Amino acid sequence: MKIQNVDLMYLKKKYGTPLYIYDEKHIKDNMDGFLKYFHSSKFKTEILYASKAFSVKEIYRIAKEKGMNLDCVSLGELYTAKSVDFDFSKIYFHGNNKSYEEIEYAVKNGIGIIVVDNLMELELLDSICAKLNKTQEIIIRVNVGVSAHTHKFIVTAHVDSKFGVLYGSDDYKKMIEICNNSKFVKFKGFHSHIGSQIFDLEAFRAALVKLITYAKDYKEKLILNIGGGFGVHYTNEDSPIPFNKVSEILIKTCEEELAKENIEIEKLAIEPGRSIVAEAGYTLYTIGFTKKTPNKEYYFIDGGMTDNIRPALYQAKYDCDIVGKENEPRNHKVTIAGKCCESGDLIIEDYNLPEAKTGDLLITYTTGAYGYSMSSNYNKALTPAVVFVEDGKDKLVSRRQTLDELIEREI
């Protein structure tokens, strides 16, 4: 089996397993797709790669090369972006509990927009900007009362989210007052992010309509950022909407709503993370022992929740194959279990596969988002290498952690 014409056996020999493999062309095509279709003649548009989905230097380099904007949520992500000279004016900085150090670093380095989550953050930001004598553009994260996850979305009075403020609340009013009275912080608009792995575009429409009603209360042309969360294909239960359709519908909705309300905006932004990298990613494992229990058959792999915590964290589903046996009869119902000391360390449960032997390679699909970025050293597992493949070539992007690196910070 090959990805981008690079043989998986060859990758296993060269880099070992577990191994994160990314189809670089697929990532670039996804970025190009959004950049091509998310456009309007009525307002500016921006595509931010939400880098928490997969954050390594190389993806920041690719995003930079493509002219994407960036969404960062921590000092660590900002620092990684900085290390490849990403233009800070193209970065939006998120987070509900940004530290003094993080805000100072962002402002000093000329961050484009800070997405302010709450009143206390704005007060701190204002004082830091005063100290540095810098002005800073901000947008306010508002809780629009739309919450979406996979196939369902609900419009609620869900007022207790840890993210954002309620439009028109006391805190919100105080935030606007600070902006009005400050020489340092400049209010530019709104941000909302309603969830993840969303397939129903009506949810985004509902959120966008809310933001536009809020924008009506302002004379200035605002920036509206409707976040990320576009669904991807993990298994055949998922039917994602292609990015050209997503783009078309969001742009059209926005244009229509603006016309209806008779207002203009400066910019509409979206923040795809998962939908840029998930389907471009694969994880390659080696099967070790197999085992039958009275009711189950297990294939044990040399990784698990340390490289992919999503099944344990939220029952995420994946597809997989035994490399080289893709076309053999799938006559074994098996559970793919990791090697961690946790009963919940199961990557895929009750899944039909051919008979596997020790030493066979197992590949899981759509592991490009929130796999590497959520990886851990639990059980002192070593973080796997990350390799990009394109056009018959492989490129190491992050090498496997070493045992010495595992203990080097310990006294």
> What positions carry a catalytic annotation?
341
Asked if 272 is part of the footprint of ligand PLP (rule: CB under 6 A), the reply reads: yes
Residue 230 binding ligand PLP, by CB under 6 A: yes
- Out of 24, 104, 117, 271, point to the residue binding ligand PLP (CB under 6 A): 271
CB of 194 to ligand PLP, least distance (A): 10
Between 115 and 389, whose beta carbon lies closer to ligand PLP?
115
- Order across the sheet with 195-196: list the strands: 152-155, 146-149, 195-196
Q: How far apart are CB 98 and ligand PLP at their closest, in Å?
A: 13
Residue labelled with tokens 């940004």 = 98
Q: Does 69 bind ligand PLP (CB under 6 A)?
A: no
CB of 322 to ligand PLP, least distance (A): 29
Residue 227 near ligand PLP by CB under 6 A? yes
- From 18, 228, 304, 311, residue interacting with ligand PLP (rule: CB under 6 A): 228
**Distance (Å, whole) CA 6 – CA 126:** 52
What is the pairing mode between strands 320-322 and 297-301?
unpaired
Draw the binding track, 328-367, toward ligand PLP (x: CB under 6 A; -: no contact): ----------------------------------------
Q: Which listed residue (143, 275, 283, 366) binds ligand PLP by CB under 6 A?
A: 275
The residue (of 60 and 230) whose beta carbon lies closer to ligand PLP is 230
Assess 196 for contact with ligand PLP (CB under 6 A).
Answer: yes
Q: At 68, which amino acid appears?
A: M
**24 near ligand PLP, judged by CB under 6 A:** no
Q: Which stretch binds ligand PLP (CB under 6 A): 179-187, 239-247, 261-269, 271-279?
A: 271-279
241-268 b/e (C-beta count within 10 Å ≥ 16 → b): bebeebbbebbebbeebbeeeebebebb
Q: How far is the CB of 316 from ligand PLP (least distance, A)?
A: 12
Kindly state the smallest distance separating residue 269's Cβ from ligand PLP, in Å.
Answer: 10
Count of residues that bind ligand PLP according to CB under 6 A? 17
Span from 21-29, 223-231, 261-269, 395-403 in contact with ligand PLP (CB under 6 A):
223-231
Choose between 189 and 227: whose C-beta lies nearer to ligand PLP.
227
In the bound complex, what is the minimum distance in angstroms from residue 347's beta carbon to ligand PLP? 20
Task: Choose which of 17, 34, 52, 268 interacts with ligand PLP (CB under 6 A).
Answer: 52
Min dist CB 70 to ligand PLP, Å, is 11
Rounded Cα distance between 4 and 260, Å, is: 47
Site string for ligand PLP, 72-111 (x = CB under 6 A): ----------------------x-----------------
Tell whether residue 273 is a contact of ligand PLP (CB under 6 A). Answer: yes
Q: Which residues bind ligand PLP (CB under 6 A)?
A: 50, 52-53, 71, 94, 193, 196, 227-230, 271-275, 369
